[in-house]
Structure 1
Amino acid sequence: MSEHIHKSTYSPEPRDIIFTIPNALSLLRIISIPIVAWLISRHSMIVALIVFAFSAITDFLDGTLARKLNQVSKLGQILDPCADRLLIFCTILALGVAGIIPWWIFIVVVARDVIMGIEILWLAQYGYGPLPVHFVGKAATALLMISMVALVVADIGIGAPSRILHLFALAVGIWGVVLYCLAGFIYLCQGSGVIRKELRARKEARR
């Protein structure tokens, strides 16, 4: 961990605004997520894919519009990652309920996110925001998203092609879970380094 890292690296200074187009899109995305999960749990896969596509479009638009319209906000920086975590959580839960994936995947993902939530609260005690997203975390999220969509599509089909797609999607999902946990370990190491640096600085300041 570089000694030149400043708090602003981890907590950028967005505008303190609430009512923006990106925030509205993020809220719509969050509202759509339980609907996707409910549809998957009932094996209504075609409709689930349509709502999933809507969620993906709003995910793209909220970040793009926030930058182009200069509407990056504190609320938006909270809503966007929360929506990602909620989508993964709800979809994996629904796939487990539907009997499409083994339950251990859901348990591992939830345990990882609980630990990350504790770390965020820990960092907040020292005035730091969430850590910047690591490329391993981005790769893990991408693999999980691809896996979830492919599992839904596989459940629609019948015969050998759907079974092959299911196995492929499950393999991709397992790799996604592995990277998801690896990213969590990286975030823990980064967070610990930041806190150690902060404690040393405070100790030096008291001398």
Structure 2
Amino acid sequence: MSVTSGEDRIWTVPNLLSFLRLLGVPVFLWLVLGPQADMWAIALLAVAGFTDWLDGKIARAFNQTSRLGRIIDPAADKLYVFATVIGLLLREVIPWWLVALILGREIFVSCFVPVLRKHGYRALQVHYLGKAAMFNLMYAFPLLFLASHSGWYAEISRIVGWAFALWGVGLYWWAAVLYVVQVRQLVKADKQE
């Protein structure tokens, strides 16, 4: 009888929350592009943002971190960002240049994956700036979505939403530069061995 180490655990509360976030991605896109049930879509985004924060808190507080969690948590984040920017772009809520900046950053960072694999690394540790960027973007999107409506909340949502969006994109790119520095340091260290 083998005992599973903590890193190999699958059935943890944080992993369940991340998995539920993954399931919410197609539901979000359907709400935005199908029936255009915007308030439900915004509520789903808010729940996704909250559970993203909550799964990390639970994982650290109750020692429920796992290898699977380090894969599905950022995957859920990235899928939500991708689905949200595409949905909001198609609904003409956000401009194409914002989508280009966000997706361009993902393409830029993914160019370093073959270099990491060549040197025996699977992925880099998520940097706190990347987490801060994701936090800002997850707040920006619902606010920008609210800003596309006509109501007393639209103008304040637009101002605050764009503040979060621009700050989030700036941090997203700053984190990308730090990832490049990390990759260079790893490659340099491997060459010296």
Q: TM-score range by the shorter chain?
A: 0.7 to 0.9
The residue matched to 1:15 in structure 2 has which SS?
helix
Q: Is 1:192 aligned to 2:184, yes or no? A: yes
Q: Give me the whole-angstrom Cα distance separating, in 1, the residues matched to 2:55 and 2:9.
A: 15
Shift of 1:188: 0.9
Root mean square deviation, CA, Å = 2.4
Quick one: which amino acid aligns to residue 35 of structure 1? V
Shift of 1:171: 4.2
1:89 aligned residue: 82
Residues 27, 79 of structure 1: 8 Å contact kept: yes
Q: CA offsets per residue over residues 137-182 of structure 1, 9 Å max, x none?
A: 23322221221121122234337x5245324423431332222112
Give unmatched runs, 5+ long, in structure 1: 1-12, 202-207
1:39 aligned residue: 31
Q: Give me the whole-angstrom Cα distance separating, in 1, the residues matched to 2:190 and 2:113.
A: 15
Q: How many residues align?
A: 188
Residues 49, 135 of structure 2: 8 Å contact kept: no
Identity among equivalent positions (%) equals 34
Larger radius of gyration: 1
The change in CA–CA distance for 1:100 and 1:58 in structure 2 (over 3 A counts) is same
Quick one: which amino acid aligns to residue 108 of structure 1? L
| Deviating 4+ runs (over 6 angstroms) | none
TM-score (normalizing by structure 1): 0.78
Shift of 1:79: 0.5
TM-score (normalizing by structure 2): 0.83
Give unmatched runs, 5+ long, in structure 2: none
Shift of 1:23: 1.7
2:121 aligned residue: 128
Residues 154, 162 of structure 1: 8 Å contact kept: yes
Residues 18, 55 of structure 2: 8 Å contact kept: yes
